[in-house]
Structure 1
């Protein structure tokens, strides 16, 4: 049951990360055309990175601990986007939940996909 809850939380954190990247992109836009462009490009870049290296059916799955790098880029980027848009409490809550979820998944020996190390 705990594994299912943590995997559900993980999925929700992924969605929140993409939303935060989109919001951050919108807020970072300087002119009329850059706002929607960044609001689309930042979450798309996060989703592509996630899909290539982290997702359960990633095209190029990375083994632990290497897969932490793209995870940190996406979750860290979302945290930074929340911080820079004036939402420090949300940023801290998001970062703590993401870190706690990663630790819980590891302690519960729950896979989120990825490759296995040889040997």
Structure 2
């Protein structure tokens, strides 16, 4: 399951961007009182879920899985967080950024077909 270095780099950057997008959406749709809390908590919860729920022996994640889950569950988690971040940019008024991010997510997964197949077999 060898991913090209550029795709692994893209995936990492998309993960970071997703956290930013989730924070920006939380900030923009929350009321004055809850803005700071929401903008910090949602990305932290997403990052914790990303790092906690994993498939055993996933070579793209060092093989460790604090809470092992089936591959389909992991894939859904990834898609929700990544596309949630893209939607977050869109909701925060950064429409072009959200659209570009969504397209880059698709590109990354197209070039990760072997990983997608592996995940769905787990």
TM interval, shorter chain, is 0.7 to 0.9
Whichever structure has more helix as a proportion of its residues is 2
Q: Which residue of 2 aligns with 1:22?
A: 23
TM-score, reference length from structure 2? 0.77
Point out 4+ residue stretches in structure 1 off by more than 4 angstroms.
none
Distance in 2 between residues matched to 1:115 and 1:59, nearest whole Å: 19
Aligned residue in 2 for 1:35? 35
Deviations 1:15-59 (A, max 9, x none): 11111111111212211x311101101101110111122481331
* Equivalenced residues, count: 113
Whether the aligned pair in 1 keeps the contact of 2:26 and 2:35 (CA below 8 Å) is yes
TM (normalized to structure 1)?
Answer: 0.79
Q: Does 2:67 correspond to 1:60?
A: yes
CA RMSD of aligned residues (A): 2.6
Q: Which runs of 5+ in 1 are unaligned?
A: none
